């Protein structure tokens, strides 16, 4: 099985799986300075999916249990992922790249985080209960990557929230009905109000956080958050320290602040 990998609309390389052995080979058009941190060779032999790709899957909990003939084929199911990675069966002839923006120059326009707390949207939610409740059978409060979430269109003119069919600038995290049952172990009402509160506290302490809000559902509030990696049609890439340190989404909170600071120091030294 062969998959073509693109980054910022530029052909990055080929990901191949044969007999459970995975190989990633960079395109000859890619400068070695732009190689992925965890794959620094032109040809990389791997026992599993590269973490930078694997963590994209684990950030989409709806895809975890879907069976595919090979590991890499699951990447073809990804849509609207973090950053600009794209995975295709067919190779494009284009070697062009998106127009490059300096993130700092457009950060404030992207984040739009000058809302007033509490930011409660009086919008109609035009999303089926089935779509909202996909993960309500899950009794576990998972890591961030396992929270049920999906892309939406926030129509400010008509005050309507609908599911997105293509790339969008917003996600919704629906509340979980299971957390509203007092007789269950995980009775956590207003959980997403709490997330809105703490994101606002982080903003007020000087952290760069994106626009976020809550909107009333039938029994609790859903959480709306703006993507921090989109500027119009431009997709900004980012790397998690967890991935650089070799942690996947299941274990990324095992990383210590000392490990993160050491890795940051190493990266800065290499850049200098």
Please give the Cα distance from 109 to 106 (Å, whole number): 5
Residue 56: per-residue pLDDT:
80
Q: Which of 190, 194, 197, 186 is nearest to 219 (CA)?
A: 190
Strand partners, 7: 10
Domain-wise residue ranges, the chain: 1-92, 107-231
Q: Which of 139, 144, 121 is nearest to 179 (CA)?
A: 139
Q: Considering the entire predicted model, what is its pTM?
A: 0.74
Quick one: average pLDDT of 61-69?
Answer: 69
**pLDDT tens, position by position, 93-136:** 655 555 556 788 899 999 999 999 999 999 999 999 988 987 54
Task: Please report, in angstroms and rounded to a whole number, the separation of the first and last CA atoms in the chain.
Answer: 39
Q: Is 132 exposed, middle or buried (0-12, 13-18, 19+ CB in 10 A)?
A: buried
Residue 138 has pLDDT above 50, yes or no: no
Please give the Cα distance from 118 to 33 (Å, whole number): 44
């Amino acid at each position: 099985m062969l998959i073509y990998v693109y980054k910022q609309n530029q052909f990055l390389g080929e990901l191949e799986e044969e007999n459970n052995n995975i190989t990633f080979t960079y395109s000859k058009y890619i400068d070695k300075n732009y190689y992925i941190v965890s794959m620094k060779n032109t040809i990389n032999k791997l026992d599993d999916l590269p973490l930078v790709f694997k963590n994209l899957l684990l950030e989409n909990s709806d895809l975890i249990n879907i069976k595919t003939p090979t590991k890499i084929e699951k990447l073809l199911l990804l849509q609207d992922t973090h950053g600009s990675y794209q995975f295709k069966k067919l190779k494009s002839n284009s070697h062009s790249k998106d127009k490059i923006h300096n993130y700092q120059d457009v950060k404030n326009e992207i984040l739009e985080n000058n809302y007033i707390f509490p930011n409660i949207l009086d919008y109609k939610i035009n999303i089926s209960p089935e779509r909202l409740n996909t993960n309500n059978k899950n009794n576990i409060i998972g890591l961030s990557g396992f929270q049920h979430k999906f892309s939406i269109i926030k129509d400010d003119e008509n005050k309507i929230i609908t599911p997105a069919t293509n790339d969008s600038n917003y996600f919704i995290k629906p509340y979980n009905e299971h957390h509203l049952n007092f007789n269950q172990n995980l009775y956590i009402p207003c959980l997403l109000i709490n997330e809105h509160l703490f994101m606002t506290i982080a903003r007020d302490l000087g952290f760069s956080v994106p626009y976020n809000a809550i909107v009333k559902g039938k029994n609790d509030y859903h959480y709306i958050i703006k993507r921090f990696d989109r500027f119009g049609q431009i997709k900004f890439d980012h790397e998690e320290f967890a991935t650089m340190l070799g942690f996947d989404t299941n274990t990324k909170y095992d990383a210590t602040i000392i490990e993160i600071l050491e890795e940051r120091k190493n990266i800065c030294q290499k850049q200098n």
